[in-house]
Structure 1
Amino acid sequence: MGLYPAEIEAQAAAIVSTYRTRDWMIATAESCTGGLIAGALTEIAGSSAVVDRGFVTYTNQAKMDLIGVSAKVLEVYGAVSRETALQMAHGALMRSDAFVAVAVTGIAGPGGGSAEKPVGLVHLALKTRSGLIDHKEMRYGDIGRSEVRLATIRTALEMLSAAAQTLA
């Protein structure tokens, strides 16, 4: 048994297999998951053919410094927003050799939520070099920090799988 639940490892293994056959690399830009998406992918043997790099950008400063999220976007929309997630995906793609970048930013809890942005709110974005852009706003609810993070990993992996199917 690995570090992750069996279904996450199965999802990650399928992605590694599919992306390896297409010679596609992945970059991740992670806030609330702290590198766990990259970790799930690299749990799979042979993932070095698929995982280019991961950016853990937990602070706003890290988002700006490492992946070029604009201070204006952070000021106007906040770190947990569609706009920030899309800029994170774009920045990770531009600062990597990847074909696909997936980005996540959210509020895992237990604190930090508000009426407008409750605990369990996560924005995920995906961008490819071929121009595919995807965004999901997930409201997992106040289900516990670990469960929000695991749900976010599952959704990010689903987005990576869907991108491969869309671009088949």
Structure 2
Amino acid sequence: MIWLKRSFLALLAVALWVVLSLLFLSKERLCNGAVEAAASKGVTLCYDGRTASMLGCRLERTTVLYGHAPVAKVGLALFTPWKIEISKIRLEGLAASMLPPKIATVRFEPLGGTIYAEGDFGVLRGDVAWSGRRVNLELTPSSLMKREFGATLREFRQKNGKYTYALSF
């Protein structure tokens, strides 16, 4: 019985360490890490407002550039250790020719491995299998997406009115 008590205490200590590490992680570093990770891929984030709080980091009124070409304008981006949420997205330039320009929200939860996006294109749901290094996306397209962006939909596989896309990383 003593081994059960010690195992429980060890598990509780590890869980407490993880929770406290996420809570006391420097949110300023989290914000800098998000901007630097984007910059390493050639994406520049130009933002008007930046706020770091106890729970996360917010970037407001952000312009996203790839190289020097504008790709999107973002109303609000929220980065926390357990969730990344981007809302009020308006695509520009080449990206607007591939997808409908308005995206209401995009949410990524790295711990659960879930992706959710909603906008004029329809609803996108996805999951990330970290162990298999695979991303599976399922799109339920809107009538606008079907009518005007058929070339983009051809990249997906159609099954029962839903479009799926899988990639590995």
Fold shared per TM-score above 0.5:
no
Is the radius of gyration larger for structure 1 or structure 2?
2
Q: Which has the higher helix share?
A: 1
Q: Which has the higher strand share?
A: 2
Higher RCO, 1 or 2 (CA under 8 Å, sep at least 6)?
1
Report the TM-score, using the length of structure 2 for normalisation. 0.31
Report the TM-score, using the length of structure 1 for normalisation. 0.31
